[in-house]
Structure 1
Amino acid sequence: MSVNPELVGRVFPPTPPYLVGREKVREFARAVFATDPQHTDPAAAQALGYPDVVAPPTFAMVVQDLTLQQLLAEPDSGIALERTIHAEQRFRYTRPIVAGDELTATLTVATVRPFGKGAMVTSEAEVTDAAGAHVVTAISVLLIGGEDA
């Protein structure tokens, strides 16, 4: 089955709220070698005007992953994980993610571009805080290989 072109414009239900924990931010910062003290030290983050530690920019992938799991589980998508490569990632921030944020994400499939036997699927996850304010839009491009003949 090839990637379903009718995915374009599909909006998935919002994810359950994700509470950003201080230790998760610290662990993520260590994993991506983000050594700035604002990522690990609450006092350093507060000196910069934040209420708690600030997540590195790519931390938004943690929340976006919840939305991508919805897409991958969609029975009519034609997307098989074993033929999928995460080809590109971009972020458009309104404000940084901070420990204590409660974030919800909603995924929209923006484009399905066929090529050969496969397709490139671009999706956008709008991430909002508990008050409904925009925090970040995470844009992913998945490269889906075609089935072998």
Structure 2
Amino acid sequence: MALNRDFVGRASAPSPPYEVSRVKIREFATALGDNNPIYRDKEAAQAAGHPDVIAPPTFPIVFSLAGGSILTDPELGLNFAMVVHGEQRFEYRRPIHVGDELVTVSTVTDIRSVGRNELITVRSDVSTTEGELVCTTYNTIVERGGAG
């Protein structure tokens, strides 16, 4: 079944705050196999000019499509059993670092059919709880067979 095109332009409510910790950054860097010390060691991060340990560039995927996500609205019609990752990219204003409390607002920017598949693109603006925009993520999700 085709995704509900009425969702294009729809934004989610802000997510609950996500508190960035050294443990979560270290776990994510370990999962990536990235041993860069600025992801693990405060002194190394400070020597590189950061206030504390920073997160790898793809870290926002951990929380940016989670809690309060527009993707889980049943009226959208997304079948998660048929979902695969399509594409993602990140535009940064500054690195994410330990101590950040981040909220996300996600907006559906496009839904289209490609062959038998449905593609949905979501832009997520990641900001501090004080309102500073930290980064914007763009994710394209493919629902296999949804258009056919």
User: In structure 2, how many angstroms separate the alpha carbons of the residues matched to 1:148 and 1:132?
Assistant: 38
> Counterpart of 1:47?
47
User: In structure 2, how many angstroms separate the alpha carbons of the residues matched to 1:129 and 1:65?
Assistant: 16
The total of aligned residue pairs comes to: 148
Give 1 or 2: higher helix fraction: 1
Preserved CA contact (<8 Å) 1:88 1:142: yes
Residues 66, 147 of structure 1: alpha-carbon distance in 2 compared, 3 angstrom cutoff: closer
What whole-Å deviation, never above 9, does each CA across 1:17-74 have from its counterpart, x for those lacking one? Answer: 000011111111111112111100001111122121010001011121316x623320
What whole-Å deviation, never above 9, does each CA across 1:113-136 have from its counterpart, x for those lacking one? Answer: 123343110100000012211111
Preserved CA contact (<8 Å) 1:3 1:118: no
Residue 83 of structure 2 is aligned to residue 84 of structure 1: yes
RMSD of aligned residue pairs (Cα, Å): 1.7
Residues 19, 6 of structure 1: alpha-carbon distance in 2 compared, 3 angstrom cutoff: same
Preserved CA contact (<8 Å) 1:2 1:146: no
SS of equivalent residue, structure 1 residue 64: coil
User: In structure 1, how many angstroms separate the alpha carbons of the residues matched to 2:107 and 2:146?
Assistant: 25
Preserved CA contact (<8 Å) 2:118 2:146: no
